[in-house]
Copies of this chain bind each other. A is one copy, B any other.
Amino acid sequence: MKMLSSKQQQILSFMRRFREGKDYPPTVRDILRGCGISSTSVVDYNLKILEREGYIRRDREVSRGIEMLDKTQRRMVRVPLIGYIAAGEPVPVPTSDTWEAEPLDTVDVSSELVRGKEKVYALKVKGTSMIDALINDGDIVLMQQANTAENGEMVAAWLKKDGETTLKKLYRERNRIRLQPANVQMKPIYADPKNVEVQGKVIGVIRQLSTS
């Protein structure tokens, strides 16, 4: 990986600036003008080097086919916010149209959090009943649609007999299910498998502190 010449750095920095204002990448001739270069072949020459060195990717024969590979833009995922989660009622479960129709509200999340998972949705926490899962009133819980879960995964579990939703780590034991709170100071509860209904997996939590 060689050093970049000052012209190449200038081109990269111009492309970054260009994308601040526009929604599309610059053309070769945009770069020419923006960097005070006097020939398109010079731009092309340097773009080829930038591509070889891994700074950009080019789609040949495509206008504005320059993609900046470095930092500039990691992706963001738009997750539908489909309802509230509270102790006394089952959590809203996404339906087929959740993924198709335009959702009522959405939450933007960095793709690292979602890690390419499918069928991810968000719920807003209502009340402080999830305190033992280290989740507060107003937090956003990122969920993945699921009816079952592996040992150790955090799930939203509906305890039928108790009529209660709880967020716990799930472990299957001989003939019972152990639900372990996230708070290590608290003790697990045990339940009959028939009494536990997995409503989704918890994959993340987002909390915004109010500035009040």
Contacts and interface: CB of A to CB of B under 8 A. Distances in A.
A203 B207 CA distance: 8
Contacts of A107: 110
Contact of A65 (B24, B67, B74, B209): B24
Interface centre among A66, A113, A135, A185 (most CB of B within 10 A): A113
Number of copies of this kind of chain in the complex: 2
B74 A131 contact: no
Nearest to A137: B184
A211 to B, nearest CB: 7
Prevailing SS type, chain A contact patch: loop
12 contacts: A23-B66, A23-B68, A24-B66, A27-B63, A74-B78, A76-B110, A110-B110, A152-B212, A153-B212, A204-B206, A205-B206, A205-B207
- Report, nearest first, the 9 A-B pairs whose CB atoms are least far apart: A108-B110, A23-B67, A205-B207, A152-B212, A63-B63, A134-B134, A24-B64, A76-B76, A154-B209
Given A27-B63, A205-B207, 15 more contacts: A23-B68, A24-B25, A24-B62, A63-B63, A74-B78, A76-B108, A107-B110, A110-B110, A134-B135, A136-B183, A153-B212, A202-B209, A204-B206, A205-B206, A205-B209
